[in-house]
Amino acid sequence: MFRKDFPYFQNSKTVYLDNGATTQKPKSVIDSQVEYYEQYCSNTHRSNFGHANKATSEFEKTRKLLKEFINASKNEEIIFTKGVTESINFIASSYAIDFKTVIISSLEHHSNIVPWHMQNRTLGAGLEVVNCNENLDFDLEHFEELLKANPNAFVSITHVSNAFGKVHDVKTITKLAHKYGAVVMIDAAQSLAHFKVDIQELDVDFYAISGHKTFAPTGVGAIYIKEKYLKNIKPYQTGGATIHEVDYSGSILLDSPYKFEAGTQNIAGVIGFGKALEYINHVRYENIQSLENKVFKYLNEELSKLPGIIFYNDLTNCVGSRSFNFKGIIHDDIGILLDKMQIAVRVGHHCAQPIMKKLGIRGTIRVSTAFYNDYVDVDKLIEALKKALSMLKD
Ligand code: PMP
C-alpha cells in the first residue's frame, strides 16, 4: 500500500530485505534534498538573509519534530549527529569517560563495544557484559548482580539487536539501573523504523538515534540527552557555531544544543530526517506494526519449512531481523547466490562479532524487513533460498 511512496521500488527489481543495514527513502525525503540544494542552499545559524533563515528554520523544525516524535521535554535535549555511531562516541568520550564501570549487553553492535575498548576498558576491567540465555534473552538477574557489584555504573545497551532482532525491555532495564545509581544510554539504531518510542515512559538518560535506518538520508542521526545532564556535559568537539564569545584567553560556549553541534551540520540530511518523521506520522505506527508483524510472521513460518535451517532465537520479543544458517552450508555462499537472484540480504557477523563467537559461528544470513515488504518479497526469497540450497547441496 505504501510501497508506491518509495521510488526505489519503481526503479529496481531487487527484493530488498536489508533494512537493518539501511532503509529505503520515501519520495518526500528525496525531494527535500533536491529542494534544499536547488532552491535555498545556505548555511544555518550564521547568516541573516532569506535563504539562510529558511535553512535554519527547516533545520530547527526537524529538532522540534523529533522532540515531539519521541516525547522529549525540550528541543534542547535533541542534538544532531551523524548517526548512532557518533552519538555513542560522543557520550562515551565525554560524559561517560570517568565512570568506573560500563555495562553492556551480549547483543551489542560494534558501535557500542569498540568506543569502550578505546578507553582501555576490557572485560572485567571497566567493562561488564550482561549474559543472555539460549534464546538470547537479556538476563535481568545477572544485570542486577552487576549493578550491585558496580554501583553508579554507566549502562549502555541496545534497544533492538541488529543481528537477531531481539528487543530489550528498556523500561525495566532502566528502572533497575536507576535503582543502583546507574545512568542509562540506549542504542536505538533499530527502533524507530519499527515501533513508537516514548522517552518519558522509558526514562532513559541518553537515547542514540539513526536517521538512515528510519527512512531518512544517510549521515544524520541524533542523541537525546535528558535535560538535567545538558549543563555539565562537555562537547567532544568544538568550533564554529558552538561559541558565545572567544578571545585568546578562553571561550564561552553557547547552551545546548548549539554547543554540541560544531561546524557546518548535515543540513540537507537533517531536513530530510524531518520529512522522514513526517512520513512516519502520516503512515502511523499502528499501520507500520500491523503490516510488518504479518509479513515477519509469514517469513518465519516459510523459513521454518526449509530443510536444515538453524535459528538462534524464537520470535518472542523480536522485530525486524531474522537470522539463521543452514546445516553444513556456509552463509557467504548463500549470500552470493541470493545476490545473483536479486535478493538483497546481509550475510556475515553484522558488526556483532562477540555474540557470533559466543554462539560458535562466524555469521548468519540476516533477513531484515520494513513495513513496505510484503508476502511477495518473502515468496521470492524462499524460492531463491530453495534454489540456492539445491545448488549448494549438489
Ligand atoms: N547500533 C546498531 C544496533 C546498529 O544496527 C547500527 C547500524 N548497523 C549502529 C549501531 C550504527 O548506526 P549508524 O549507522 O547510525 O552509525
Expressed in percent and rounded to 5, the helix, strand and coil fractions of the chain are 45, 20, 40
Give the mutation target among 351, 353, 366, 368 for probing the ligand 1 site: most ligand atoms within 8 A of CB. 351
Question: Phi and psi (nearest 5°) for 272?
Answer: -65, -35
Question: Phi and psi (nearest 5°) for 35?
Answer: -60, -45
Residues 277 and 308 in one domain: no
Q: Is the pLDDT reported for residue 375 higher than 90?
A: yes
Is this prediction's ipTM beyond 0.90? yes
Output the ligand 1 site: residues, CB below 6 A. 83-85, 109, 111, 158, 162, 187, 189-190, 210, 221, 351
27 C-beta neighbours (distance < 10 Å), count: 15
Q: What is the pLDDT of residue 241?
A: 87
Q: Is the pLDDT reported for residue 114 higher than 70?
A: yes
Indicate the residue among 249, 282, 315 that finishes a domain: 282
Taking a C-beta distance cutoff of 8 angstroms, is the pair 356, 363 a contact? yes
Task: Give how far Cα 78 sits from Cα of 64, 69, 171, Å.
Answer: 8, 11, 20
Q: What is the pLDDT of residue 393?
A: 83
318 in active site = no
| % of the chain with per-residue pLDDT over 70 | 100
Residues 276 and 375 in one domain: no
Q: Is the pLDDT reported for residue 73 higher than 70?
A: yes
Instruction: Find the 324 Cα to ligand 1 centroid distance in Å.
Output: 20
CA of residue 291 relative to chain centroid, distance: 20
Mean pLDDT of the chain: 97
In ligand 1, the atom with minimum distance to the C-alpha of 85 is 16
Cell numbers standing for residue 176: 533497575
CATH of the domain at 145: 3.40.640.10
Residues 277 and 288 in one domain: no
Residue 177 lies in a domain: yes
Residues 59 and 137 in one domain: yes
Given the residues 41, 132, 318, 351, the one annotated as active site:
351
| Total number of domains constituting the chain | 2
Averaged pLDDT for residues 204-231: 98
Q: Write out pLDDT tens, residues 259-290.
A: 999 999 999 999 999 999 999 999 999 999 99
Residues 263 and 341 in one domain: no
Q: Write out pLDDT tens, residues 127-172.
A: 999 999 999 999 999 999 999 999 999 999 999 999 999 999 999 9
Averaged pLDDT for residues 297-311: 98
Residue 7 lies in a domain: no
Q: Is the pLDDT reported for residue 91 higher than 90?
A: yes
Residues 234 and 248 in one domain: yes
Instruction: Find the 162 Cα to ligand 1 centroid distance in Å.
Output: 8
CATH of the domain at 350: 3.90.1150.10
Q: Is the pTM of this model over 0.90?
A: yes
**What band does 24 get if pLDDT is binned at 50, 70 and 90?**
very high
Angle, nearest 10°, between helix axes 27-39 and 267-283?
150
Residues 64 and 107 in one domain: yes
In ligand 1, the atom with minimum distance to the C-alpha of 159 is 3
Instruction: Find the 360 Cα to ligand 1 centroid distance in Å.
Output: 23
Residues 151 and 235 in one domain: yes
**What band does 258 get if pLDDT is binned at 50, 70 and 90?**
very high
Residue 6 lies in a domain: no
Residues 136 and 273 in one domain: yes
Give the mutation target among 187, 207, 353, 355 for probing the ligand 1 site: most ligand atoms within 8 A of CB. 187
Q: What is the pLDDT of residue 252?
A: 95
Residue 268 lies in a domain: yes
Residue 15 lies in a domain: no
Instruction: Find the 166 Cα to ligand 1 centroid distance in Å.
Output: 15
Give the mutation target among 159, 170, 190, 209 for probing the ligand 1 site: most ligand atoms within 8 A of CB. 190
Indicate the residue among 223, 257, 282 that finishes a domain: 282
Q: Is the pLDDT reported for residue 235 higher than 70?
A: yes
Cell numbers standing for residue 393: 547441496
| Domain membership of residue 289 as a residue range | 284-393
Residues 255 and 348 in one domain: no
Residues 309 and 216 in one domain: no
Return d(Cα 245, Cα 252) in angstroms, integer: 5
Q: Write out pLDDT tens, residues 42-68.
A: 999 999 999 999 999 999 999 999 999
Residues 75 and 105 in one domain: yes
Indicate the residue among 258, 282, 306 that finishes a domain: 282
Residue 328 lies in a domain: yes
**What band does 319 get if pLDDT is binned at 50, 70 and 90?**
very high
Question: Phi and psi (nearest 5°) for 185?
Answer: -115, 140
Q: Write out pLDDT tens, residues 323-350.
A: 999 999 999 999 999 999 999 999 999 9
Instruction: Find the 321 Cα to ligand 1 centroid distance in Å.
Output: 13
Measured torsion, CA atoms of residues 236, 241, 247, 253, in degrees rounded to the nearest 10: -50
Averaged pLDDT for residues 299-318: 97
Q: What is the pLDDT of residue 33?
A: 98
Taking a C-beta distance cutoff of 8 angstroms, is the pair 15, 343 a contact? yes
Residue 212 lies in a domain: yes
Residue 56 lies in a domain: yes
| % of the chain with per-residue pLDDT over 90 | 99
Q: Is the pLDDT reported for residue 394 higher than 70?
A: no
